[in-house]
Amino acid sequence: MPAELRKKSRKEAKKKKNEDSRDPDPPSTEYTPTGFRWGATLRHALMRMVIIGALIYILQAVYSRDMPSLARREDDIEIRVFNRNCSDDYTEDRRKFKECAPHHCGRGVMDQLVTKKEAETLLRVAKAGLSYGGSTGGASILDLHTGALSQGTAFVNIYKLLEDRGITDVFSEEDIMVYKSVSTKIRMAISVQFRVPNTKLYLTSPTFFSKMTNKPAQTVHDEYWHEHVDKETYNTFDYTSLLYLSDYQEDFQGGRFVFVDSTDKKTIEPKFGRVSFFTSGSENTHYVEKVTDGTRYAMTISFTCDRSKAIQTPTMKTS
């Protein structure tokens, strides 16, 4: 055989050998004779689920870290107090009311100060009074001292409203006694915790019931979620307290009380019968989260060192 033919034959044989040694074409990554490649699809789905779960966990951890709770709803707290450095908001009060103005500042929580029966009575009072009005926005108030009641986008006097309708059995003498007893208990607790004579501490205005829902705000009075300082909003305030009359995550969603500190925020989760209290200056800047579902009831009870700004126990028409 001529040399050229032998060389060509060897090249063809080598080429054929290389072709035979190649891997067969891979199967389709899209379909098999029976449809999708379920094994690969399931692996991808599981991977996505793991990634999403990890992201959710991270976000929850970050949220929890950014918003630690001073009092969770499931806690049963006899007393829990957190000291704070006093702000400069009390300079004038310290000059005028040396014994009473805050020198020891902070915030506290008590779950056993108000009895269940007392809290139930006050919730009934709040619901009864608020049933004659109600804001068209998400926040309604009832002030038994002045008679102010939210109605639509304004306020009416509940006592005048009831008188005009000839109604005399909304509130009872027992309601008055419980209202006075609870406010006195809270005044005494604040007196002890902040080391001020209880005889120098006076109930002041506004002291009121509140009802919050997820209705869109209609007026500025509905926008309770803005950061604020009670001493700036109400100059007479020296000590603020709240009695919660509904349960976070059971009666409503959102609506936690949030303290705004220089480095982070801290929450108090409302619990039926829980009392929170704090000095009213900028060391306790705060707001309430928007209620996203349900109804949040609470009572704000305020105290001043200025006797001229004191208010008396409300007088109600009785049955």
User: Is 296 an active-site residue?
Assistant: yes
pLDDT value at residue 67: 78
What tokens appear for 84 in the block? 């704070």
The predicted structure's pLDDT at residue 313:
86
What's the predicted TM-score (pTM) here?
Answer: 0.79
Query: How high is the pLDDT of residue 229?
Result: 98
pLDDT in the model for residue 46: 60
Name residues of the chain where pLDDT drops below 70: 1-66, 316-319
Structure confidence at residue 216 (pLDDT): 96
Looking at residue 160, its pLDDT comes to 96
User: Tell me, what's the pLDDT at 10?
Assistant: 59
Do residues 266 and 258 lie in contact, with contact meaning Cβ atoms separated by under 8 Å? Answer: yes
Please report the beta strands in the chain, taking only residues with DSSP state E, as ranges in sequence order: 69-71, 80-84, 105-110, 134-135, 139-142, 148-152, 154-157, 202-212, 239-244, 252-254, 257-260, 265-268, 275-279, 286-288, 291-294, 296-304
Write down the catalytic residue from 37, 195, 296, 307: 296
- Cis previous bond, 197, omega within 30: no
